[in-house]
Chains A and B, each alone.
Chain A
Amino acid sequence: MDLNFTPEELAFRDEVRAFLRESLPLDISDAVRRGGELGADILSRFHALLNGRGWLGYVWPRDHGGTGWNAIQRHIFEEEMAAADCPRILPFGVNMLGPVLIKFGSEAQKSHYLPRILDGTDWWCQGYSEPGAGSDLASLRTRAVRDGDDWVLNGQKTWTTLGQYANRIFVLARTRADGKPQEGISFFLVDLDNPGIEMRPIRLLEGGHEVNEVFFTDARIPADALVGEENQGWTIAKYLLTHERTNIAGVGRSYRALAQLKDLARQTMRDGRPLIDDPLFAARLAEVEIDLEAMNILNLRMLDQAQKRGQPGAETSMLKIKGSVIRQEISDLARRVLGPAAAPFPGSAPDNLALLPEDAVNNAADYFNMRKMSIYGGSNEIQRNILTKAVLRL
């Protein structure tokens, strides 16, 4: 038993760390530290930076333009990005669609779409959820009907993250009405510029715009927009979800958020002493730190198992639950640490109110925004259902 990285892994970590230290523009890391929404410009520039180094396809095999890294290397890469205040890599093209095309796509789809994900020509969004189909995704009702050489799409998708910046969407649609619901779904690649597609914003409770609704009204898409076979969509969707769940624990992001929180608690004076010296507050910080240290090792154990087995098991549900709860706990403390200063609506308070560090102005908004972490990507209740069935066999 040895819980440390090997010398090769450490050398890899140093290489990533050095690159990010030298190349990540300050305005990008500043924006990430401040929290709140990151615009399309920052996200695209960050993708371009990684692509320039050949690292954007970090979960793809080499022969498709990826790095060919193993699970531990990917993990180290993600940890280093978080520690350096990098934005998240947009998962929709890189982590979700890329692996799907590599496994299920035609040669033409692979050679057309994969390079465009890496070079930023295409910005993908995920068209799974519908108003009536959230946790019960298989009940989705958006329909695709064959008409000559085309498919005709009708229906509605929702919660489409960053769809406002996207030019393409991958869509699960019903292609057969009878039989089990899971057996009548297909996976399509859709150009958002097609006539008959309309995107509308959804505003989140803290005021941000990061999700959208997408309406399809007789939108015609070509036959070669189908990935895999007709009615094979559910298999593809499930495969994609296992990839969506890589880095689900978000250990690096939580370490970074905890470090920022401690800084803030050190700087914040409350009743004559820094808040970090308040025994009640320090106790709360200490408890999260303990949870996080444990989860870091839990995460590595599961990575190791996944590496040996070739794919992650249902145990990753544990990481989704614990990872989201710890991240939410940290954001709760980051809100509380501010006391009254948490109250202003972000952007509503004028500059001379900025008695609090600039990095903290979004703390309350982030707390509310972080509620999503236990809802999306399979809610924590659904993860518990998976655990009880697939792991505990109850």
Chain B
Amino acid sequence: MDFELSEDRRMLRESLSRWLADRYPPDHRLKVAYDAPFHDPALWSELADLGVLLAMATEDAGGFGGSGFDISVIFEALGAALCPEPVLGALLVSRLLAAAGQDQSGLLDGSVRWALAVGEPDAPWSLDRIATQARGGRLTGRKALVYGGNDADRFLVVARDGDRLSVHEIAASDAEVVGFGTIDGGGAADVILSDTPARLVLDDAGKAIQSALDAGRLALCAEAVGVMDASFAALLDYLRQRKQFGRAIGEFQALQHRAADLAVEIEQARSITLLAASRLDGEGAARMVSMAKNLIGRVGRQVAEECTQMTGGIGVTWDYHPAHLTKRLVMIDHQLGDTDWHLQQVMAGIRA
């Protein structure tokens, strides 16, 4: 057993965190995350130059990482800095292009921005309900909340052809892309496809899509852990600093115990995320990732609500950076399966 990060990953984490602290401080994040294109394209290129995208892909695919721990290290750092860059879409697409054995150099060097269009309005998370149709090289359907879709050059689209799921490539300019900003910062889009020309990338793709989504869910769990750490650190600062009734509010036992509970829950969240990272790509990965995403959803809400409550009025203001952390924590539950959906996935395997 070894709970230390490898030397390479430690360096990756340090260089990424340093870059984020330097280039993506809270005031800059606030400036770009809520105005189109809802991220900073120049910094996207720098992020790619740093090798962050390469670290998410295996050597076979042209990268130098690609394991669960590579993904969790990167996303935890992005979460702590509340970075709105569309890295998640790149990860999802990279996994699928790798499964198809196709060149992804443009993705990995950051020159082409990709997003994955999978969930639909009535079936946001269940693959067996996907209704978008692939017929004769054309796609018809509607994809909801494609993160990063507002500023993507190309999409991979998951569609149905009879009972088989397949993955197709389209150019953003060939579809109706309805972009918008999200309540927690960053951009997304609905993608409307009507007889849209597409190139088949992967046929009979159910397994590959599941595996890409597992990686994406792990990434969100790790991001949430990073956000929780940052939220909690801000809360502790506030409890020490804020004085009422002649003393620091952190001296009130009513708040101390709740802060202690949060510390316990955050360690639980970190632990299950480590477990999911270690199991990614192995037997039973999907169920383990669902366990993690369920716990992350529950703890995320608790951390967000408690941090807001214990910072009083300040905690609900726009100019207080940690308020944006709490929004992100809550809204992560709306991405790639919420608490209840993942609970149902875990329940489905309970008799095994």
Contacts and interface: CB of A to CB of B under 8 A. Distances in A.
B244 interface: yes
Interface string A136-156: 100100000000000000000
A268 to B, nearest CB: 8
Contacts of A376: 313
A299 interface: no
Nearest to A352: B178
B126 A368 contact: no
A394 B301 CA distance: 32
Given A206-B183, A375-B313, A341 B144 contact: yes
Given A271-B129, A379-B312, A355 B121 contact: yes
A389 interface: no
A135 B180 contact: no
A310 interface: no
A76 interface: no
B313 A342 contact: no
B82 to A, nearest CB: 13
A203 B126 contact: no
A350 B178 contact: yes
B308 A339 contact: no
Contacts of A350: 178, 180
Contacts, number: 143
Q: How extensive is the interface on chain B, given as a class? A: 35 or more
A206 B181 CA distance: 13
Contacts of A338: 334
A269 B122 contact: yes
Contact of B334 (A202, A205, A206, A342): A342
Given A339-B338, A345-B182, A348-B180, A203 B319 contact: yes
A343 B319 contact: no
B344 to A, nearest CB: 7
B324 interface: yes
B144 A384 contact: no
B111 to A, nearest CB: 28
B331 A136 contact: no
Given A280-B343, A344-B180, A381-B255, A129 B330 contact: no
A350 B124 CA distance: 20
Interface string B319-332: 11001101100110
Task: Determine which residue in A136, A203, A380 has the highest number of CB atoms from chain B within 10 A of its CB, and name it.
Answer: A136
Contact of B309 (A207, A269, A342, A374): A374
B316 A371 contact: yes
A203 B254 CA distance: 29
B327 A368 contact: yes
Interface string A249-280: 00000000000000000000111100000101
A342 B181 contact: no
A280 B347 CA distance: 11
9 contacts: A136-B245, A159-B313, A205-B323, A278-B340, A340-B144, A350-B178, A368-B327, A368-B330, A380-B309
Given A136-B244, A339-B125, A348-B182, 7 more contacts: A203-B317, A205-B327, A271-B129, A344-B180, A349-B180, A364-B331, A372-B313
